[in-house]
Amino acid sequence: MASADTQRDDDDPLATVDQSGQTANSADQPKPKEPTDASLQARGRYVPIRAHAKGGLGEVFVARDEELGREVALKAIQERLADDPTNRARFIREAEITGNLEHPGIVPIYGLGQSADGRPYYAMRFIEGETLAAAIDRFHSSVEPIHAPGKRSVALLGLLRRFNDVCNAIDYAHSRGILHRDLKPSNIMLGLHGETLVVDWGLAKFMGQDTAEPSNTADTAALITGSSSDQTLPGSTVGTPAFMSPEQAAGRIEDLGPSSDIYNLGATLYYLLTGQAPFDHAPAGILLTKVQRGDFRTPSAAALGPIPSALEAICLKAMALLPKDRYPSTRAIAEDIERWIADEPVSAQPESRLARLARWSRRHRAWVRAASAVLVGLVIVMSLATGVVHRAWQREQTVRIASEDLAASLDLDKGIGLCEQGTTGLGMLRLAHALAITPAGASDLRRTILSNLDAWHTPMIPLREMFVHPDAIWSVALSPNGRTLLTGSSVMVEGKLLGEARLWDVETGKALGEPLKHGSYVNSAVFSPDGKVILTGSADRTARLWDTATCHPLGPPLVQDSSVKTVAFAPDGRSFLTVTGRSVDFWDTATQRSLGPSLTDHPAPVNPAVFSADGSMIATGCEDGTALIWKRGESKPIGAPLIHNSAVNCLAFSPDGKVLATGDEDGIIQFWDTATQQRLRMQQAHRSEIYGMAFSPDGQVLATGGDDGTARYWKTGTGQALGLPMEHLGAVTAVAFAPDGRSLATGSGDTVARIWVGPTTRPLMAKQTNGERVLAMAYSPDGWTFVTTDSGRVTRIRDAISLEPIGPSRTHESDIRAVAYSPDGDTILTGASDGTAQLWTAADFQPVGHPLKLPGAVTTVAFRPDGRAFLAAGEDTKAHLWDPYAGRHLGPLLPLESEIMALGFSPDGQTIVTAEGRSVRFWEVANGVATGQIRRVLRGHQGFIYCLAFSRDSRLVATGSEDDTARIWEVKTGRPVGPPLPHGASIISIAFAPDGKTLLTGCNDQTARLWSLPTGRSIGPPLKHQGRVSAVSFHPSGHFFLTGSFDRSVRRWEAPRPWIDDVEQIRSRVQGLTGITLGLEADPSSRGNILDDRIWRLERRLLDTTESTTR
């Protein structure tokens, strides 16, 4: 039952907000069986029976009309507001306006009066039924398209006719000069006998009146509920944010007219077509801004399935940003709806010739059938004549399509393999080639390729600039202002290997000045701290100083005994060092004279040498696998050598000098404490030798370059890789950060120096969990929050956007092993190690109903789809279906073969699934209760099953096992879908995307992975953590997902969005990102080619122009 008084939801953009910014939530308030105010016990003709609802201004009682012996709704001003003249005037105005409207679609007023204490009230019809919002929500609970044939189509027509009834009622109100100003699905009541009534006229006003609302003390315009037109202050914002018109949101009360109600009706139609409001779930300030801009998704984009284009056109015309572009009247909306129902063209959408022909065919079925019969006869004759040829052609087509599918699948696997090997650019180009040869009808394969392109692109480090050289590059450095790049390279001249250093403009990629020439390749080239001088060291056994501005040498070369491997300026620029053989020598920059003492006490030839940031220390690395730290001015090293298993090729001090990083021939990075010479950490960074290394200016990131043709960013504190490898077609010989840390220069044996964008990470956000491991996690049904449990025995509600805890938390007496949100989001279910399964209020973690007590730990829980009962199981080898409200078991206990870690109720409520050891059992359900009968048993895993999940449509169930695979099964037949999905360790968490086409898995190998279910291929790189991924959950929208880990973090990631299916645009985009091309033939064995720098710059400009619109 419902009355004419609207019930409003707290903190909801679908609710009308009062002057204080608070909503009145009658649903959250207790509904006593008797009125709470004694003064309402007798009102002459009307005798209150029970309280029914409470709004922002009034309260509604069900009363008995003593004269006519009927139930009525009695609305009275709330006692706490009764003495305020303004509120009394508002209340009376509402009654007067409603009473002036006599229409079948408007609730009739029976009388207006005062109680014994002087409180005004009015009596009106009591409506038994539901709101239009409830009817729409029930309609959209099905996953079928809204205009699917059968019951769905009939239900849609019924809702549209109800909507037209509303349009007619509002058209009548407009003819009486009255605006409603708060039309929305929850303000429309559907009676049990076909009635459709518009209710809650608390914001209504007479058109043309310009009277003021008493001033509000807030700085911003107030959102006012229950106000009448003669009490609205110009500039105030009235209505429900999610449904109000742009002029309402802007507070232009004086501009409100019938077109504003027309917009409200368009927003209501939007809700009918999509099941959601056009503007939903955002803070009021942001919401009002979006409303004013008309910033909402089209109905076809918001709906889960297709919707008729004509209905979408009607909706969008009614919701036009400018009032002049909307329908001229609400009756005009109804007429267009009636045209669509009658299969006539609508005024909001021009009709195509094809649509006109289809309509003509539907109306002249007899003629069409006769003509069809003739055509069928002709076709039969022709088919008999050409049948043999056609069958042969069909066989040929089948073989051709199968061959194309196989070729595309092989190229897809090749592309994914290249991406996983670190050659992401080549892999994405191979994926683009796979797309080019994939048949147009192979939609699943094409979607997998397009999703992979996005997933691999997201963590890529984009290429910013290329500098092509004639030969290999051995050194790179950026000037102190970051505007100039210095490279040292080799160059072949008339068959002789020479060397040169060059200056380049970072922004344009053009060479500056003349080359700084040497007699052999330049091993090392650096800027002085002020950028005015350049120092080079060459295999021609010389080091030289050069004037940066003129590129002229400063004095004669410094001749050494052997190849100069490394040169470096001291931080003050007054001296520099050179490395030759086993010696490190120091020189005065001004005089170029030797400064003692040299560092000669090395056990083997020295490769690199570096100054600390303050110049007090020097570090050297040797070919015998040792590194040494020296105090400036002393000839003996500090402490013992730093031991490696292979030659030390590169070194870098952290900016604060407390840490030394070293890279060796085995591809290993090691971090050392410079004060104690103790190893802090080591990790494998590259597949082979590391040649270059540099700390970012803030010390938070280490960049490395290796013989495997990649450069990498690493988080110094944890060793976590930041982004994917930066791909080259030759060894990366040198790396250097820009002074601001926002870009990186690399030099490579592939003859190209590159500038890359600074480090990035794929997750949108990651949060630590107060030092505790995440045990379980789940999104709320509305996606605004999620719940986590951790090893600290604390259950918390977290904000889905910031990931921060919100509201109260709950500390338990034992570990919470499982957690779930109820389908309505009001309660949370936990399963604990002490054997308790308990229901809690989601708002404040208060216990609800009766807990279920088991003799062993509860390891898995699941709600029944109606939320009135739940399943729980664990160590006691039985599955329990429990009614927490009645405190009793429902149906028999389900005997299990072993302790289990996973069970579930199918979303349609028809099946219970339990994962027991290596098998999965399906149990029959009747009327929401298990019968105890086993429908089927699935076997296929070779290890214990840790997790399972249902697809939203109940068609599929996924399982994850200690045999390192995930498997997908058809619920109806029990058959496996596709091959097992391989992982590197046990799978302990699993979740379907809402569309059922993507699977998310969490693994003991410290990664989470996405999978395309139609093709069985992985999507994107493994999502790496520093601990096992114990929990995963998809956002209800499918746009985001969460991972929780034993590394004490919760991370939110953006789900891949398939790229636009345009092969040439994709190929151009990837080439612009990487500077690499496969060439025209796309030879499968090709390792790629350097893209011509002029073509690359064109591709890059196109990429910069279109990047924001390619998805």
| One-letter-per-residue 3-state SS of 445-473 | HHHHHHHHHHHHHCCCCCEEEEEECCCCE
Residue 9 in this model has a pLDDT that exceeds 60: no
Ramachandran region, residue 856 (left: φ > 0; alpha: ψ -120 to 50; beta: rest): beta
Average pLDDT over residues 286-296: 86
Over residues 18-65, the pLDDT tens digits come to 333 333 333 333 333 334 444 454 457 888 899 888 877 788 899 999
Residue 910 CB burial class (10 angstroms; 0-12, 13-18, ≥19): middle
How far apart CA 660 and CA 641 sit, in angstroms, is 13
d(CA 853, CA 835) in angstroms, rounded, equals: 6
Q: Is the pLDDT of residue 700 over 80?
A: yes
Give the per-residue pLDDT at 358: 59
Position 219 pLDDT exceeds 80: no
What's the number of CA atoms in the CB half-sphere (13 Å) around residue 409? 13
Pick from 929, 931, 907, 911: nearest CA to 920 = 911
Could you read off the pLDDT of 600-616 as tens digits, one per residue? 999 999 999 999 999 99
How many DSSP H helices and E strands does the chain contain?
15, 71
Q: Which residue has the tokens 């994914």?
A: 416
State both tokens at 711.
Answer: 């450069």
Please give the average per-residue pLDDT across 269-294, as a whole number.
Answer: 85
Q: How many CB atoms lie within 10 A of CB 976?
A: 14
* 386: helix, strand or coil: helix
How far is residue 214 from each of residues 228, 309, 934, measured CA to CA in Å? Answer: 12, 45, 68
Q: How far apart are CA 533 and CA 548, in angstroms?
A: 5
CA-CA-CA-CA torsion sign (349, 354, 358, 364): positive
Mean residue pLDDT across the chain: 86
The helix, strand and coil proportions of the chain, stated in percent and rounded to the nearest 5, come to 25, 35, 40
* Cα–Cα dist 924/414, whole Å: 44
Question: CB-based contacts of 94: which residues, under 8 Å, 6+ apart?
Answer: 201, 202, 204, 226, 228
In the predicted structure, residue 293 carries a pLDDT above the cut 70: yes
pLDDT in tens, 328-348: 999 999 999 999 988 889 998
The answer to which of 88-102, 689-703, 1087-1101 has the lowest mean pLDDT is: 1087-1101
Tell me what pLDDT residue 316 has. 95
Cα dihedral: 310, 315, 319, 320 (round 10): 0
Provide the pLDDT for residue 24.
Answer: 36
Quick one: which of 711, 709, 705, 617 has its CA closest to 658? 617
Cβ neighbours around 608 below 10 Å, total: 24
* Residue range 406-426: mean pLDDT, rounded: 88
Longest dimension (CA), the chain: 119
Q: Are 983 and 998 in contact (CB under 8 A)?
A: no
Residue among 196, 247, 206 nearest 229 (CA):
206
Contacts of 496 (CB under 8 A, 6+ apart): none
Q: Is the pLDDT of residue 214 over 60?
A: no
What's at 790, amino acid-wise?
D
Q: Say which DSSP state 151 is in.
A: H
Q: What pLDDT score was predicted for residue 440?
A: 85
**How confident is residue 653, by pLDDT bands cut at 50, 70 and 90?**
very high
Predicted pLDDT at 44: 73
pLDDT at 841 over 90: yes
Query: Nearest to residue 826, comparing CAs of 850, 811, 846, 812?
Result: 846
b/e string for 223-244 if b means 16 or more Cβ within 10 A?
bbbbbbbebbbeebbbbbbbbb
Residue 960 has pLDDT above 60, yes or no: yes
Average pLDDT of the residues in 967-992? 94
Res 372: pLDDT: 66
Residue 104 CA to residue 44 CA, distance in Å, equals 28
Q: Residue 614 is which amino acid?
A: D
H helix or E strand, kind and range, residue 419: helix 365-420
Nearby residues of 246 by Cβ (< 8 Å), 6 or more positions away: 263, 291, 292, 293, 294, 321
Q: Report the alpha-carbon distance of residue 621 to residue 642 in Å, rounded.
A: 9
Q: The tokens of 652 are what?
A: 């870098």
pLDDT above 60: residue 902: yes
C-beta of residue 618 within 8 angstroms of C-beta of residue 597: no
**Is the confidence at residue 449, as pLDDT, over 90?**
yes
Q: Is the pLDDT higher at 214 or at 704?
A: 704
Q: Which two tokens stand for residue 1021?
A: 């790189």
**Residues 657-675: tens digit of each pLDDT:** 999 999 999 999 999 999 9
Written as one string, the DSSP assignment of 887-898 is TEE-S--EE-SS
Does residue 49 contact residue 65 with C-beta atoms inside 8 Å? no
Q: Prior bond to 884 cis, omega within 30? A: no
pLDDT of residue 39: 45
Token output for 595: 């400064």
pTM for the structure as a whole: 0.62
Asked if residues 719 and 1024 have their Cβ atoms less than 8 Å apart, the reply is no
Nearest Cα residue to 138 out of 183, 185, 184, 182: 185
Work out whether the CA dihedral 397, 403, 404, 405 comes out positive or negative.
positive
**366, pLDDT greater than 80:** no
Please say whether the beta carbons of 984 and 998 come within 8 A. no
Catalogue the long-range contacts made by 496-505 (C-beta closer than 8 Å, 24 or more residues apart). 497/521, 499/538, 499/539, 499/540, 501/475, 501/525, 501/534, 501/536, 501/546, 502/469, 503/548, 503/551, 504/467, 504/753
With 0-12 / 13-18 / 19 or more C-beta atoms within 10 angstroms meaning exposed / middle / buried, residue 1061 is middle
CA distance from start to end of the chain: 47
Share of the chain above pLDDT 90, in %: 62
Residue 278 pLDDT exceeds 80: yes
CA angle, 47 then 50 then 51, to 5°: 115
Q: Lowest mean pLDDT: which of 8-12, 150-154, 798-802, 1032-1036?
A: 8-12
- List the single range of 334-343, 536-545, 563-572 with lowest mean pLDDT: 334-343
For residue 583, give the nearest of 544, 640, 543 by alpha carbon: 543
Looking from the CA of 26 toward its CB, the CA atoms found within 13 Å total: 21
> What is the distance between the alpha carbons of residues 794 and 1075, in angstroms, rounded to a whole number?
50
Q: Which of 235, 241, 242 is nearest to 220 (CA)?
A: 235
DSSP string of 72-115, one letter each residue: EEEEEE-GGGTT-HHHHHHHHHHHHHHHT---TTBPPEEEEEE-
Contacts of 166 (CB under 8 A, 6+ apart): 105, 132, 183, 188, 196, 198, 265, 268
Residue 146, pLDDT score: 66
Q: Is the pLDDT score of 519 beyond 70?
A: yes
